[in-house]
Amino acid sequence: MLNESIADSETLSVTRVALDSMTGSSLARLRELVKEATDRRQTEWCLVLDNVQEYCPVYEGGIARQSILKVGTAGTAIRLEDCQPGAFDLDSHLARVAQKKRKSMTTESLRTDIDWNHVHAIQALHWVRVLVDYIPELNNLSKEISARFRSEPLALHRMREGRKTVVQPLGTNAERETEIQGMARAILDFDEQMGVGAEAANQLLFWVRGDGASYSTALRLQRYLCSIPDNHNSFRNRITTPEIWHTKATMINSIATNHYGPATSKDPSSLSRCSGAVNFKRPANLSSCDYYPTVRSMSLIWETRVLDCWRIHLGSTPSLLLYFADLVERNELPTLEFLMEQAAILVNRHASQAAYEQALSSAESINAPAPMRIPFGSGSHVHPAPDFDAQSAAEPVPNVHEEARNFDGDRVLANSILFLQDFGWWTELAYAVPEGDIGRVFEIMKV
């Protein structure tokens, strides 16, 4: 049996030769496809790049031997399908840039451009999804909820059914993409691997994507070389955007900075206090969080607060599970339409800008219209803050916020509303990407 296994195995050198052969044939095919698209005056491939590092430690000392950090830039070619003809036409792009319409852009015009009705509707469906996932008696509605995410009017611009994104890894180079000259050499190297020639630079745009540092460096590169008349050498035919995954990570850092508060916070709305209550570790650096643990803790806190809003709204004290179990016995389970109507009310009351502003004024809360009016509670008992480790206790505590003398609002409620709104938007972004709906992604990016 052992001899058979040895006979069937391949040596490392043979495996490397096979992989090199496959890579070479794949790149040759990529260059053919790029040339065919260029001949049709179309851009059908984009470039996604990112920095890579490998730390090479020295295990045995010696003269001139020291540990080093090898750095470079990795690139991936991604095929662009179902694009409108002329979408990457260079002349059209430069003509629009020359019009300078962006000078008329204001904060108000950006806000007006957001489809707020769609944003609220999609948030309501997420609130229903959280409830349906939690209540066993409602699990049968999951398929219908998924169908609503993927159909109009909530679906905006989905990938066609059955489409799979084609990607081709490119050879890594040793350039530093955060430096101007390094970015220029890295892009030209990837151009050569893909078969993108200088002749295409006078006709077509080429799309480069990366993280925030790559995006910033590419813009500086174009700014420094703008006086060069040649489109290829000046990189004038490049459009650069930050990657969606980097936008998601940056949004998580922003939410963490705004909502965690001090490690020993007594504020019930702070994520530090909530994380301690469920034994989650607070991020050590709020401006650069460990992504997956932070997302997991935020998701749990957000869903718990959403369920608590459902519990209070439905009057299902003390437990949602017992409430719906009782509805099953009485054959009175709500329909999906009823849940959507109630979720729309909850989003307006607990996860909107209007709700936030209302929470900051007692008069506005009392005089709020019926759909926005929330019954005043009898108060709540603040439990002792959980114990934190010595490192958290040693962290500098920011100055305590003091409200104005005439402030009569509820700051804790207002902060809770902002978190439900902000992380709800992030949740929609996280769901829209795997759904392949770039329209929904763009709506959240505009926010």
* pLDDT value at 395 more than 70: no
Among the listed residues 199, 208, 195, the one whose alpha carbon sits nearest the alpha carbon of residue 27: 195
Q: What is the mean pLDDT of residues 75-81?
A: 91
Structure tokens at 1: 């049996």
Contact indicator for 208, 239 with CB cutoff of 8 Å: yes
Residues 149-166 have pLDDT tens digits of: 999 999 999 888 888 888
- Residue 168 CA to residue 194 CA, distance in Å, equals 10
Contact indicator for 95, 128 with CB cutoff of 8 Å: no
Q: From edge to edge, which strands make up the β-sheet containing 68-79?
A: 167-169, 68-79, 45-56, 206-210, 238-242
Share of the chain above pLDDT 90, in %: 39
* pLDDT value at 390 more than 50: no
Structure tokens at 384: 């002792």
Those residues whose C-beta lies under 8 Å from the C-beta of residue 55, and which sit 6 or more positions away, are 67, 68, 69, 70
Residue 22's pLDDT band (boundaries 50, 70, 90)? low
Residues 214-249 have pLDDT tens digits of: 999 999 999 999 888 888 888 988 999 999 999 999
Among the listed residues 115, 129, 113, 114, the one whose alpha carbon sits nearest the alpha carbon of residue 346: 129
Contact indicator for 359, 413 with CB cutoff of 8 Å: yes
Q: Go through 91-125 and write b for each residue having 16 or more CB atoms within 10 A of its CB, e for each that does not.
A: eebeeeeeeeeeeeeeeeeeeeeeeeeebebbbbb
Residues 82-128 have pLDDT tens digits of: 888 888 988 888 889 889 888 888 889 888 999 999 999 999 999 99
pTM: 0.83
Share of the chain above pLDDT 70, in %: 88
Residue 298's pLDDT band (boundaries 50, 70, 90)? very high
Computed over every residue of the chain, the mean pLDDT equals: 85
Domain extents in the chain: 37-58+67-82+163-242, 113-158+246-375+406-446
* pLDDT value at 19 more than 90: no
Helix (H, G, I), strand (E, B) or coil at 431: helix
* pLDDT value at 260 more than 50: yes
Contact indicator for 205, 43 with CB cutoff of 8 Å: yes
- Residue 443 CA to residue 118 CA, distance in Å, equals 9
Residue 431's pLDDT band (boundaries 50, 70, 90)? very high
Q: What is the DSSP letter of 230?
A: -
Q: Calculate the CA 395 to chain-centre distance.
A: 29
β-bridge partners, 210: 242
User: Would you list the DSSP string of 368-396?
Assistant: --GGG----------PPPPP--HHHHHSP
Structure tokens at 71: 């750095």
Across 4-8, 140-144, 285-289, least confident range: 4-8
Report the amino acid identity of residue 69.
L
Contact indicator for 178, 214 with CB cutoff of 8 Å: yes
